[in-house]
Amino acid sequence: MKSTAQIDVIETYKELFPAVQLSDIFEDSKIFPDCIPLRPAEAIMNDYEKLNDDSNFVLAEFIYQNFSLPKSSRFHPDENTPEEDI
């Protein structure tokens, strides 16, 4: 079942969302819905619609220019023993 946030992203970025999800920009399909837009959605979509058909358009660059990526939620354990940390 899709969350409300995912549904909002799908509706807001109608053409962009499937393009990103079907690309190999992110290794996990849950990353793009968690990205934070750096500009209003309407401006992003207007630019996407203008640029998408350009032969020089690079989707990954567009995403990185228009969205802030979520911080990694993966836990990276400290390899030191507790004694070494003290």
Closest CA to 21 of 81, 83, 63: 63
Distance of CA 66 to the CA centre of its chain: 9
The per-residue pLDDT for 52 is 95
The reported pLDDT for the residue numbered 71 is: 82
The reported pTM is 0.73
User: Taking Cα atoms as reference points, which of 75, 62, 1 lies closest to residue 32?
Assistant: 62
**Total H helices, total E strands in the chain:** 6, 2
| Host H or E run for residue 11 | helix 4-12
Task: Please give the Cα distance from 54 to 84 (Å, whole number).
Answer: 55
pLDDT score at 29: 86
Give the C-alpha separation, 73 to 53, whole Å.
34
> In the chain, what are the domain boundaries?
4-70
pLDDT 10s digit of each residue in the chain, 86 long?
555 655 687 888 989 999 999 998 998 888 999 999 999 999 999 999 999 999 999 999 999 999 999 886 454 455 666 666 56
